[in-house]
Amino acid sequence: MKQALKSELSKQIILNEAFKLFYEDGFKTTSIEKIMKATSLTKGAFYHHFTNKKELGLAVITKKVQSRV
């Protein structure tokens, strides 16, 4: 699998799991560690795509809004 495709897949997995956990547990109580445990990816994968949890939260919202338009 090409690296760019693999990277995009990792990003989508993080976004999907983050949405589930934010929905179930709330944004404040969901840690980056909990998200990464749910994805079975490393924290390095997280920080490759996002600088912090706030940026991830905005990306999750953007993705959900775009999917409904």
Instruction: Tell me the C-alpha distance between 11 and 14, whole Å.
Output: 5
Q: Which residues contact 20 (CB under 8 A, 6 or more apart)?
A: 38
Tokens of 7: 């990277």
Q: Please report, for the chain, the start and end positions of each structural domain, with discontinuous segments joined by +.
A: 3-68
pLDDT for the residue 1: 65
Domain 3-68, what fold?
Answer: Arc Repressor Mutant, subunit A (1.10.10)
pTM, two decimals, is: 0.92
Q: pLDDT at position 45, please?
A: 97
pLDDT in tens, the chain (69 residues): 699 899 999 999 999 999 999 999 999 999 999 999 999 999 999 999 999 999 999 999 999 999 887
